[in-house]
Amino acid sequence: MKRSTVKELYATKPSGQDILVKGWIRSIRVSKSFSFIVINDGSCQKDLQIIADDQLEGYEDFTKSLTGSAFAIYGKLVESKGKQPVEVHANSIEVLGKAPQDYPLQKKGTSMEFLREIAHLRPRTNTFGAVFRVRHELAQATHRFFSDKGFYYIHTPILTAMDAEGAGELFRVSTLDPKNMPYDKSGNIIWEKDYFGKESYLCVTGQLEAEAFACSMGSVYTFGPTFRSENSNTTRHLSEFWMIEPEVAFADLDEIALLGAEYIQYMIKHALKYCKDELEFFNRFIEKGLIDKLTKVSTSDFKQITYTEAVDILIKSNKSFDYPVEWGADLQTEHERYLTDEYYKGPVIVTDYPKGIKAFYMKQNDDNKTVRAMDILVPGVGEIIGGSQREEDLDKLTKRMKELNLEESLYNWYLDLRRFGSVPHSGFGLGFERAIMYITGMSNIRDVIPFYRTPNHIEF
């Protein structure tokens, strides 16, 4: 007999039909002549109640099984007299795998910190089952959103020789033997002897390669893992995170800002429609008012201001921030939070940042001070999207690269895009985990990725 998932059973009209369901025990309550067994198989937020008669074979044995044990249950699907629409009257129960007393996930509430230490078991909890079902749905929504708009999905490389953000937050990739490094006479490592014949890294972004495809196929996007060795131990930074990067030829900054807002709203609407049970769960246990917040954000326009306007608002707030507000300095989390959580009480698009704090590839404004950058900030999380219009002028771009001491030979191919039929183009990157945090209300980025990597942490 084929196994049905709990999700499928909830979508089935109960008429006493024979079914087979398998899952892990959440609880067993033994009474006089029968027992209530509650199982969950991770297919949906709901548990399934099984009623087992004391006449069943092995009754003594399986009713002694503890929380976390795995069962296979053959039975009849019937209408339930309780709160749920369906339940199962067992015909036979097979114990697939027992869990002993020290199974770490007991009924009583456990802390998020503890669950991080057992990240291999936490997807069995209601909270993490919900997080990873939402994560799945948002990935599906992402592909549907861009594909429906005519964007092509491009797989950009993970291994690279370029520091595409110029921020120096690279993880080195090397096959050299650390005990026997090749040095030249002046004591420098001879990288020509390394695997790729030059210094190589894990990518921090797929943007530069995506630009090559936008400047040939029009509208493209990437969706892949990116790696940053920044030493940020915060609730919103990971060393390995997933990023979605659309890149659009012939588009300017305003178009790409609109696209970013529309994409966020699309994901929210998708979650409201396809993750109802999960969002209700988060609304109840993780962030009160979550569903109202999402519903409102999904239909209202995002505010758009310039960096200079943002600085004015922050100075006029008369708040005492830990980091001083000063034109030219990057906005810190506390500044972003003031703008989104207190001032606008919603998402904000901030444009035209000082060029000194942004990457080399951004289009320079005529004021010679700012670049055509845009960040989208959301309440509770801060920056969720970072993007820009790209500098399409060869001379301006090479001049900026010289100022920043970038090694031109590595970027020659990138400059070709400006040499041969250069066009205005723009794009952004959305941090997938930050989007999941915003949509679920989860407050630590470590809890929205299956197995997190942060400084000093690479378990599992």
Give the nearer residue to ligand 4AD in terms of CB position, either 26 or 358.
358
Residue 75 or residue 387: which is nearer to ligand 4AD going by CB? 387
68/431 with CB nearer ligand 4AD: 431
Retrieve residue 198's tokens: 């030059």
The owner of tokens 């990240």 is: 119
* Tokens encoding 201: 């890294």
Q: Which of 359, 429, 424 is nearest to 389 (CA)?
A: 424
Q: Write down the least CB distance from residue 373 to ligand 4AD, Å.
A: 9
Sign of CA dihedral 349, 354, 358, 364: positive
Strand partners, 227: 240
DSSP labels, 381-439: TEEEEEEEEBP--HHHHHHHHHHTT--HHHHHHHHHHHHSS---EEEEEEEHHHHHHHH
Distance CA 393, CA 94 (A): 70
Nearer to ligand 4AD among residue 78 and residue 161 (C-beta): 161
Nearer to ligand 4AD by C-beta: 256 or 311? 256
Q: Residue 213 CB, nearest distance to Mg ion (Å)?
A: 22
* Nearest distance in Å: CB 438, ligand 4AD: 10
The entry of Mg ion, ligand 4AD, none near residue 238 (CB within 5 to 8 angstroms by kind) is ligand 4AD
* 260 contacts Mg ion (rule: CB under 5 A): no
Least separation in angstroms between residue 373's CB and Mg ion is 8
- What strands, in cross-sheet order, belong to the sheet with 159-160? 159-160, 200-202, 172-173
For residue 293, the minimal CB distance to ligand 4AD (Å) is 19
**Which CB atom, from 293 or from 434, has the smaller least distance to ligand 4AD?**
434
d(CA 290, CA 330): 29
Between 223 and 281, whose beta carbon lies closer to ligand 4AD? Answer: 223
| Residue 446 one-letter amino acid | R
Quote the crossing angle between the two packed helices 207-217 and 408-419, to the nearest 10°: 20
Give the count of residues interacting with Mg ion (CB under 5 A): 1
Instruction: Please provide the DSSP assignment of 331-388 as one string.
Output: PPHHHHHIIIIIISSS-EEEEEEEGGGS-TTBPBPTTSSEEEEEEEEETTTEEEEEEE
Name which of 63 and 232 has its Cβ closer to ligand 4AD. 232
CB of 200 to ligand 4AD, least distance (A): 19
Quote the CA–CA distance of 376 and 406 in Å, as a whole number: 28
Residue 207 site contact among ligand 4AD, Mg ion, none (CB < 5 to 8 Å, cut-off depends on kind) = ligand 4AD
Selection from Mg ion, ligand 4AD, none that 160 binds (CB < 5 to 8 A by kind) is none
Instruction: Indicate the Cα dihedral angle 363, 364, 370, 371, nearest 10°.
Output: 0
Distance between CA 320 and CA 301 in Å, rounded? 30
Whether 454 and 237 have beta carbons less than 8 Å apart is answered as yes
Structure tokens given for 356: 């000194």
Q: How far is the CB of 117 from ligand 4AD (least distance, A)?
A: 21
**For Mg ion, which is the closer residue by CB, 88 or 437?**
437
Tell me the pairing of strands 348-354 and 303-306.
Answer: parallel
Q: Which residues bind ligand 4AD (CB under 6 A)?
A: 165, 205, 207, 228, 230, 237-238, 241, 243, 245, 383-388, 427-429, 431, 433-434
Shortest separation between residue 167's beta carbon and Mg ion, angstroms: 10
H/E element, 115: helix 112-117
Choose the contact partner of 291 out of ligand 4AD, Mg ion, none; CB within 5 to 8 A by kind.
Answer: none
Residue closer to ligand 4AD by CB (options 63, 444) is 444
d(C-alpha 250, C-alpha 228), whole Å: 30
431's contact among Mg ion, ligand 4AD, none, with CB below 5 to 8 A by partner kind, is ligand 4AD
Taking contact as CB under 5 A, which single stretch among the options 127-135, 234-242, 350-358, 383-391 is the one that binds Mg ion? Answer: 383-391
The window from 75-83, 185-193, 300-308, 384-392 that contacts Mg ion (CB under 5 A) reads 384-392
Least CB distance from residue 223 to ligand 4AD, whole Å? 12
- The span of 10-18, 118-126, 351-359, 386-394 binding Mg ion (CB under 5 A) equals 386-394
Choose the stretch contacting Mg ion; rule: CB under 5 A; options: 105-113, 157-165, 302-310, 385-393. Answer: 385-393
Minimal distance, residue 455 CB to ligand 4AD, in Å: 11
Tell me how many helices (H) and strands (E) the chain has.
13, 16
Q: Residue 306 pairs with which residues in a beta bridge? A: 351
Q: Tell me which of 23, 386, 424, 431 binds Mg ion, using CB under 5 A.
A: 386
With CB under 5 to 8 Å by kind, the binding choice for 241 among Mg ion, ligand 4AD, none is ligand 4AD
Binding site for Mg ion (CB under 5 A): 386
